[in-house]
Amino acid sequence: MASMQPVTQSYLEEPSSCFRKPTVKPYNKDSVMDILMNKSPLMAYFAQLAGLDEMLDNPERQITCFAPCKEYCELYWNLFQGNTDHLRARNLVLSCVLKASLTETQLTQLDIVPTMNRYSSIDIRYIPEKGSILLNQNVYIVQSNLFGINGTVHITNGLIEPTEF
């Protein structure tokens, strides 16, 4: 079993912050949740709100997570206006997580993949001229292949909105 180590909080909440910072907890070092705490506090916050942080920290589960970069948090201000509840956060997180760990190269060979939200999928298009992957026709992967002990995180330039099969 991987050693438990407290995660350092790299995102410092400022008075004008668009959301509450995630609670610092002792997640497994280099787990998907540990990566999210440092690279995508927005997704880490949603995972904690939804009670899915333990699933994203589980070293026995292999997953892929698409998470928005810090710079795009302001675009989602409406999600934090006191009306983001447990169920909404849960649907959002599960719509950004796949049941297998997939690299960028593996993603380029796929078209549509089901997410852990049983009612949604992610449309994947490789755009050769940009050398990037487009998700659900509006979000690009901007940093790929952040490997954790239980999966892979791909940082996007926005939040993936669920689409139905």
Q: What is the pLDDT of residues 55-70, one digit of tens each?
A: 999 999 999 999 998 8
Mean pLDDT (whole number) for 75-104: 80
Q: Are 55 and 99 in contact, with CB atoms under 8 Å apart?
A: no
Strands 63-68 and 151-156: parallel
**Does residue 118 surpass a pLDDT of 90?**
no
Higher pLDDT, 9 or 112: 112
Q: What is the pTM of this model?
A: 0.83
For the packed helices 86-94 and 41-50, what is the interaxial angle rounded to 10 degrees? 120
Q: Are 27 and 53 in contact (CB under 8 A)?
A: yes
Say yes or no: domain 32-103+141-156 is CATH 3.40.50.300. no
Q: What is the pLDDT of residues 95-108, one digit of tens each?
A: 999 999 999 999 99
Predicted confidence (pLDDT) at residue 48 exceeds the cutoff of 60 = yes
Say how far apart CA 40 and CA 68 lie, in whole Å. 6
**pLDDT-derived band at 160, boundaries 50, 70, 90:** confident
pLDDT at 80 over 60: no
pLDDT of residue 41: 87
| Closest alpha carbon to 56 in 78, 89, 81, 79 | 89
| Mean pLDDT, the chain, whole residue set | 83
